[in-house]
Amino acid sequence: MSTIFHANAVSIESLLNFPATLNVPTKKWHSALTKIYCSRTLFSLAEIAKAKRIDQTSLAELVKMKDLDELHKFDGVRRVASALETDFDAGICGSDQDIARRREAFGSNTYKKPPSKSLFYFVVDALKDLTILILLGCAVLSLAFGIKEHGLKEGWYDGGSILVLFGHCHFSWKNGRRQQISIFEIVVGDVICLKIGDQVPADGLFLDGHSLQVDESSMTGESDHLEVNSSQNPFLFSGTKVADGYARMLATSVGMNTTWGQRMSQISRDNSEQTPLQARLNELTSSTGKIGLAVAFLALVVLLLRYFTGNTTDENGNQEYNGSKTKVDDIVNAVVGIVAATVTIIEVAIPEGLPLAVTLTLAYSMKRMMADQVMVRKLSACETMGSATTIGTDKTGTLTENRMKVTKFWLGKELVKEADASSVSPNIIKLIQEGVALNTTGSVYRETSVSDVEFSGSPTEKAILSWAVLEMNMDMEEPLITNIMWRNLLVQAFCQIAVLLTLQFIGESIFGVNEKVKDTLIFNTFVLCHVFNEFNARKLEKKNVFEGIHKNRLFLGIIGTTIVFQVVMVEFLKKFADTERLSWGQ
């Protein structure tokens, strides 16, 4: 455009310098030509000023909003291409200077990666957890008492072990010819060729083509193919796929300036976000830790009272404490042993791995969903979708008041009228209530028993919650642990306690072993009981807990790793784990 302006200016200069000896008709022709070239020059100046108003923001908004009126203000796609100094047929100049200038002005066709966090960041973040601080204190005490009781050579095993454990290509037009380049080399102003199966590499405008249809489901969720043409819909978005036809497009936004890039930048990358389940599990962990501290303190008082009242004996059956006859060193060792036992209670009582297990599971689910081309904005969405069994979609327009209400519901294929709702089995009503409570991100609030119930969430969630609470008489405080879970927990706890107590009191006589082998048997049985519980927790309401287990490689990997580590600890880490080797029968 600047070249056209320069040519017009030169022409005006030559016309103004005409000889004075020309006759009158010739002077009139020169005057007319001068006016024509002046008009062209003024028009070129207007176009240059208009082109300068086309910046990255206006180009991105133009395509993002599919604003035809704004496009018409720019006098169409050809004028936008001219403003970007792009030849409609030959593309951009394509020189190194031209590419560098465009990248500096409009950015590159790449996406920013979040800065990586150091190991020190995660260590400091972990130290903010009260549970970790309690365990660290227990580890330090266990390390100190272990060294005091057994010496540095073997006394560091328990405390030290706790500390260790804590611790694709597109064609574009450049320089008048068609070239194959990487999508990451595309710049604003490039003319890109598209065909069936291609993924649109940048936001842009339709130049020319035939029967172009694109799949915008990744952007809008609509599965229908959208026709793109020069008259009604000339807008193309990065990330969409060409379903039919072929075309050439003008790139107007690349990289983080595209609609897809802006969406990606809005995705929360803060891993500190807690899902509802994680928040409730943290409360459970905190409560369990407090109970463990209380039990440990009670055990400490009882054990100290038993020791100092002479109710404890050593390995030979002799009374441990005999008043002034007992050596100070023996008293200190005994007290250290008692404190170490209570510290062990605290260590076992705090389920510090439970929130971590949930976080790892959600992160794994998020990775699997991303592999299936599902964009996960929040980690809690994986938790929500994990509880979904049926998804109902709706394609109607926005409601006038943006309010919804449940008017009918079906039990199987049978329509249940409002008057007949009381005839539905209470168990079915309970299942419906649990389904509503466990599959919503909304909330229900009532300040007092006589206040109106307040519902929050999307219109659909508020409608379902209102129906469940007001018409189905749902209790607004749904339990974290259901009756089925309580049944399994109590049965498993009873069986596990019965087995472990049997081994504790008569295990030596049953297997004919000494006390150390018996303790190893108890430890081994305890771990295997947990493995059994992991199988039993796969399907709470079904008898066959092994169904589909061969498809769950993550579960099999966890079980296999647990068993392998247990065998290694029992058979090879005798001093470190304080275990004895067992036979296959044991």
Q: Give the number of other Cβ atoms within 10 Å of residue 514's Cβ.
A: 10
Does the pLDDT value for residue 291 go beyond 60? yes
Which residue, 188, 176, 199, 187, is CA-closest to 87?
176
Tell me the pLDDT of the chain averaged across its residues.
Answer: 76
Does the pLDDT value for residue 303 go beyond 50? yes
pLDDT tens for 98-131 read: 888 888 888 888 877 767 677 677 777 767 766 6
**Domain boundaries 56-109+183-269, corresponding CATH code:** 2.70.150.10
Instruction: Please list the active-site residues.
Output: 394
pLDDT tens for 411-442 read: 888 888 765 667 788 888 888 888 888 887 67
Evaluate whether 441 touches 464 at the Cβ level (below 8 Å).
no
Residue-level pLDDT at 130: 65
3-class DSSP state of 532:
helix
Whole-prediction pTM: 0.40
Which residue, 174, 186, 173, is CA-closest to 252?
186
Residue-level pLDDT at 176: 62
Evaluate whether 238 touches 261 at the Cβ level (below 8 Å).
yes
Q: Mean pLDDT, to the nearest integer, of 504-533?
A: 87
Residue-level pLDDT at 331: 82
Residue-level pLDDT at 490: 86
Which residue, 454, 458, 351, is CA-closest to 398?
458
CA contacts within 13 A on the Cβ side of 455: 20
pLDDT tens for 355-393 read: 667 777 777 777 777 777 676 767 677 777 777 777 776
Residue-level pLDDT at 236: 92
CA–CA separation, 225 vs 352, rounded Å? 50
pLDDT tens for 174-205 read: 666 677 788 888 888 888 888 888 889 999 99
CA–CA separation, 584 vs 586, rounded Å? 5
The percent of residues in the chain predicted with pLDDT above 90, rounded, is 2
The better pLDDT of the pair 297, 270 is held by: 297
Which residue, 63, 119, 118, 93, is CA-closest to 179?
93
Residue-level pLDDT at 235: 92
From 138-142, 145-149, 396-400, the region with the lowest mean pLDDT: 396-400
Residue-level pLDDT at 52: 44
Does the pLDDT value for residue 476 go beyond 60? yes
Residue-level pLDDT at 265: 74
Q: What is the DSSP code string of 367-408? A: HHHHHTT---S-THHHHHHHT-S----------SSS------
What residue ranges do the domains of the chain occupy?
Answer: 1-50, 56-109+183-269, 273-385, 409-472, 483-574
Q: Read off the pLDDT band of 29 (50, 70, 90).
A: low
Helix (H) or strand (E) holding 451: none
Phi, psi of 84 (to 5 degrees): -85, 10
Evaluate whether 204 touches 251 at the Cβ level (below 8 Å).
yes
Residue-level pLDDT at 35: 58
Evaluate whether 578 touches 161 at the Cβ level (below 8 Å).
no
Give CA separation, 517 vs 133, 348, 511, 526, in Å.
Answer: 34, 21, 9, 14
Evaluate whether 218 touches 263 at the Cβ level (below 8 Å).
no
